[in-house]
Structure 1
């Protein structure tokens, strides 16, 4: 998203480093614009997931209690009858006595959520878990509904969005500029090209810190970076403890608690039948413990194994995981958030902030404002590009015809560190550099259109 360098001196704007950073800002911005707008729109809606899901589930929130609730075993049996051939995956502990019972039943590799009247056991509704509106939005946001390929595209866009923000801050940095107008706020009275340049620069300044935070806290979900982190942790011996975020839309396949999260994705044989009375015994043990809702209760994966109980609270620092012996109701083990590895705790806090759950309504509002500013940044950058683009060319800042660019050791180290932290950035950076080096010789017309070589002089 190239700025209009009206405040930069000719000497500075012509310097090789400045022009190179301007070009990389342009390329990064032009690639990221559609992704930034899409992710900001879908992400701002997902921030309000608790309110949206409560509105969607309002028919099941309160049921008239005409009789005592049926036993948990009877409730599970009714849910299994509603999904022929299904097996119990998880029982959602009701938060209030009059709420509808929610049971997750696995059938043909997919989970179905069955809503039951707790007294009459009437089936109030069923829905495939991955077809629920907020789950669809989750996949639209993180994978573009394109699976692993979509996740990689989103991750590449996130990497280059970091480049866009960092180079934009460098270009924004005041150089001989007087006053705050045009720096901290746009010159509304200027109009035209200058107004759009100011709007782009000031929006970028205010949103950069929060946008960088959103990008970095979203990386653990990405297919490439998430698995990269798993591999690094295995090599460094830091992969102990529960992992409770998805990678590329799927539960991670590592860690001692993976089975409790992976569910049917991890199962190679049908689970053993649930023994009568065990679920009620587990509920009686778990309910007084005050586990943050929603609480998911999963049956044993093999005969004699304990039941798995996990909090699925959006505010991840509130989460706990337990193992309970169904025969005796004894708590076999408990892992609270504070007992996890510090890397998991850092990611947990980051994910909670990213989803707008860590500090309530203020977190949701801050995330929404950040998303709206990102949209403003993308739109204003697109307008600047469209207004300044020359006829017959992309409009990228032309390569410098002056002294050859020489990078300092500090800048090279910073780029190397970023490439090491973000492998997909490093890979795509190498591809772009190879293209820039080869295009002027192999594709002179394309290189001229991209601004990689001077345009032909006009004939007189």
Structure 2
């Protein structure tokens, strides 16, 4: 007969084993959904990371100019664009910031296609165009954010990112050393123990060591999603128009309307905030799609921007009789890398009056975190930041491939089936795991709903339908 201490030790071992396999099972199921999305996000992320380099390779000749004397007034460059593209509306001016690069005017066709017109600032010559609507960056960004499926794709990615949190938490639990077996592969690769063990060590150590980096990318990425980001987090951190706008007239358009396609150019906490309006001169013969006959011109706005201390910036043109000129320099668009320099200023198109201005000091605490994280997420801070992001993306691609190959090696070849980790029954409720699941479900509703559906499926089908149980085991 076993002694009481031996019995207790055996019970403890059984409970620990049951918990380990339970976590592994959740980790496995989450990985089935998350890994394809993680690979996609890494690949498209790398493309966007090197977008400027790709653009320089493709359009280097059109982008390069020879510095010769003083640049022409921006209004003359604008006239050249309007003469070259009479049917297009000008939406944006982006000075190059480099004496040897062309300035950019974003112009929109009647059908809504967006194009960059490249202008030599010294001669006023239009050197060519870059199709902004169908650029490599736009293509990668649309896949990265919506899978080219609109809101449906956005929700699928949000579920993947939410389940990525579960994957991370469960993965760290499985990776963290608890006994001699788990310590054997902790922060080391066991090459002599077989291919599967080596792959397990590679997968686990990449995930464990880079877990905080993964958490950062998941949370900052989730903040842009359509449900958790837009409906929950962004809505509560949107800059209130009444704070600075006061009782001034507000447009029906929000700052999101200033973005171009999938590009996020406006600060995150301003996207849902209504734009201010210029004094309504619509009764003076102007209409939408207009070109004001009176009022300030682009040179005056550029001069005001310089007086206010703007260096790298972009100017948004008014698109209606009550629209405003907007001068913005923010980390979201890559105008500045220090988020504390974020600045968005709106000017009346008729008298040039500064209507409202929002800076870093006006941001909420979470909005400040978002502004600070954007440059880091996009690799804009420095060359080191770009290299680090490239390394992280490549590391997680290896992480994903190692997981797939590891599963392929351990899958049940003889009887078929998915090869999910076995399930061990044990008495009692694991309170820590249950609390963790509840917190994740409440914090990330779309991911939480998916977890609940999996639990219902497990209870209804896996436990009571032998064929389903065999297929998943």
**TM-score, normalising length from structure 2?**
0.80
> CA offsets, 1:289-331, max 9 Å, x none?
44252x2212234446642111132626032111234555554
Match of 1:138 in 2: 141
Q: 2:78 matched to 1:76?
A: yes
CA contact (8 A) 1:112 1:127 kept: yes
Aligned-residue Cα RMSD (Å) equals: 3.5
Structure 2 counterparts to residues 196-345 of structure 1, below 5 A:
196-229=199-232, 232-233=235-236, 249=262, 254-257=272-275, 269-273=288-292, 275=294, 278-293=297-312, 295-303=313-321, 306-311=324-329, 312=333, 313=335, 315=337, 317=339, 318-326=341-349, 329-345=352-368
Partner of 1:22: 24
Judge which range, 69-78 or 424-433, deviates more. 69-78
Deviations 1:6-59 (A, max 9, x none): xxx993587432222111011111222222222112213322344444544533
Residues 313-354 of structure 1 show CA distances to partners (whole Å, capped at 9, x for unaligned) of 262603211123455555443322232222211111122221
The Cα of 1:279 is off from its aligned counterpart by 0.9
After superposition, residues 412-431 of structure 1 pair within 5 angstroms as 412-431=434-453
State the distance in 1 between where 2:300 and 2:154 align. 41
Give the 3 Å change call, closer, same or farther, for CA 98–368 of structure 1 in structure 2.
closer
Deviation of residue 366 (structure 1)? 2.0
CA contact (8 A) 1:25 1:163 kept: yes
Distance verdict in 2 for CA 1:298–1:200, change over 3 Å: closer
1:196-254, CA deviations, whole angstroms, 9 ceiling, x for partnerless residues?
22222222211211111111111122122222225751899899789789899476862
Over 3 Å counting, the alpha-carbon distance change for 1:283 and 1:156 in structure 2 is same
Change (3 A) 1:340 1:424: same
Provide closer, same or farther for how the CA distance between residues 356 and 439 of structure 1 changes in structure 2, counting only shifts above 3 A. Answer: same
Q: Which runs of 5+ in 2 are unaligned?
A: 1-10, 245-253, 265-269, 279-286
State the distance in 1 between where 2:133 and 2:117 align: 13
Q: Quick check: 2:168–2:207 contact (8 Å CA) kept in 1? A: yes
8 Å Cα contact 1:233-1:239 kept in structure 2: no
For 1:386 and 1:327, the matched residues in 2 are separated by 67
Among 396, 411, 420, which residue is 1:396 paired with?
Answer: 420
5+ residue gaps in structure 1? 1-8, 261-267, 452-460
Q: Tell whether the 8 Å contact from 1:230 to 1:239 is kept in structure 2 after alignment.
A: no
Residue 271 of structure 1 and its aligned partner are, at CA, apart by 4.7
CA spacing shift, 1:250–1:366, aligned 2, 3 Å: closer
1:448 is aligned to 470
Give distance in 2, aligned partners of 1:322 and 1:255: 13
Say whether 1:433 aligns with 2:435. no
Determine if contact 2:255/2:271 at 8 Å carries over to the other structure.
Answer: no
**Residues 80 and 105, structure 1, Cα contact 8 Å, conserved in 2:** no
| Secondary structure in 2 matching 1:435 | helix
Following the alignment from structure 2 to structure 1, what is the Cα–Cα distance between the partners of residues 462 and 182?
42
Residue pair 1:73, 1:276 contacting (<8 A) in 2 also: no
Q: Deviations over 1:409-450 (max 9, x none)?
A: x43333222222211111111111111111136743122211
Shift of 1:277: 5.7
- 1:387 deviates by 0.8
Aligned to 2:248: none
* Residues 120-145 of structure 1: CA deviation (Å, up to 9, x unaligned): 44332223322122222212222222
- Select the structure with the greater relative contact order (CA < 8 A; seq sep ≥ 6): 1
Which whole-Å CA distance do the structure 1 matches of 2:74 and 2:31 have between them? 55
Asked if 1:189 corresponds to 2:192, the answer is yes
Matches within 5 A, 1:70-219: 70-97=72-99, 99-107=101-109, 108-177=111-180, 181-219=184-222
> Given the superposition, is the C-alpha separation of residues 246 and 202 from structure 1 closer, same or farther in structure 2, using an over 3 Å criterion?
farther
CA distance in 2, matches of 1:37, 1:305: 42
| Segment of structure 1 superposing worse, 380-389 or 136-145 | 136-145
More off after superposition, 196-205 vs 18-27 = 196-205
Q: Does the 8 Å contact 2:47/2:137 carry over to 1? A: no
1:240, 1:255 within 8 Å by CA — same for their partners in 2?
no
**TM superposition score normalised by structure 1:** 0.82
